[in-house]
Amino acid sequence: MNISDAVKAIFLALESSDANGEIFNIASGNAVSIKSVIEKIIFLIGKGRPEFGTIGYRQGENMELYAEISKAKDMLKWEPKVDLEEGLVRTIASLQKKD
């Protein structure tokens, strides 16, 4: 998912009278570990050496991120078009243009 997916969801919610006052999760809908996201970013930018495991986990710390998006799919007829890797590629390219 990337910003274009989020913007589309926002406009669909604004255009829908059924969405008035509702709260939606706008995300990929796929569980992904934080470590795997970091590893993808390192691969894509070609640098970085995180020290996984050097700091202990906090009680109740999330090990995966996951947003249930069925409400957005049902009420807004929305779903993400851009997967995580493509979203990261686009974000990184956008940031590199600013350098």
The set of residues, in sequence order, having a beta carbon less than 8 Å from that of 33 and lying 6+ positions away, is: 63, 64, 65
| Secondary structure tally for the chain: helices H, strands E | 4, 2
Using the predicted structure, report yes or no on whether residue 98 has a pLDDT greater than 80.
Answer: no
Residue 2 CA to residue 78 CA, distance in Å, equals 14
pLDDT in tens, 37-84: 999 999 999 999 999 989 988 999 887 778 999 999 999 999 999 999
Beta strand ranges found along the chain (DSSP E): 32-33, 64-65
1, 84 contact by CB (below 8 A):
yes
DSSP code string of 77-95: -----S-HHHHHHHHHHHH
pLDDT in tens, 46-56: 999 999 989 98
Torsion angles phi and psi, residue 33, rounded to 5: -80, 150
